[in-house]
Structure 1
């Protein structure tokens, strides 16, 4: 059996991506991290009440955990993959906002173009492991 066609590579990649999303999602519930992520939201996207930045951080954390877990289970794999790609697009404005404020966000402020390329590559990998 050929290593590349045995599915081992896709299985390992799927588990790695799932683990990254679950761990990143859990990080959304760490108070210091959550406050920093809430500050990364562009002013035009800040709401109040249920749409307050910190609540959106918790929501996105839950989405990352659910999406990561969903990639692992065959019945939810495709839906989770699609949802994670939509998720990446939805959170990109916060990453773009942070990218212009490196003095405020430090290492989280990945420059815009590398962040965009990384998000596109990640989205492609998610779809690969979700559909195959």
Structure 2
């Protein structure tokens, strides 16, 4: 095992997870659940919740694919970090309403910590020189 192996493995796993999660945005039942956690103040400004879910799905798929290609890797890592910040309000909204969202309403502080770890991960796999 070379010193580069862990980052390459992490990059591939991270890319596959983002691509799979992005594809999930286009599954009707999952998409409805994701649309429901978009805070009311963000719906229709300028896009509907359904459109926002689709746009974020495309962003996740593009970011995951971008991590796999050397010319786009750094930009994809940075874009995914920005994406994770941008979608956090929906996760925080769900955390405030566990009675409405059930399992997907991960409590705020664990979700925030997880989001910070994901941001660090996408920056690591995206900006690593190998």
TM-score normalized by the length of structure 1: 0.93
Q: Report what 1:73 is aligned to.
A: 69
Name 1:45's counterpart in structure 2: 42
Distance 1:19 1:99 in 2: 26
Residue 4 of structure 1: CA displacement? 5.8
Deviation string, structure 1 residues 83-103 (Cα, Å, up to 9, x no partner): 000000000000000011112
**Residue of 23, 27, 43 corresponding to 2:24:** 27
Unaligned runs of 5+ in 2: none
CA shift in 2, pair 1:4/1:108, >3 Å: farther
- Aligned residue for 1:105? 101
- Taking the aligned partners of 2:102 and 2:61, their CA distance within structure 1 comes to 25
C-alpha distance after superposition, 1:20-64 (max 9, x if no partner): 10010000000011111111011111116x600000000000000
TM-score, normalisation: structure 2? 0.95
Distance 1:34 1:90 in 2: 18
How many residues align? The count is: 128
1:61-83: per-residue Cα shift (whole Å, max 9, x none)? 00000000000000000000000
Aligned to 2:8: 11
4+ runs of 1 displaced by more than 3 Å? Answer: none
Q: Give the match's secondary structure for 2:59.
A: helix
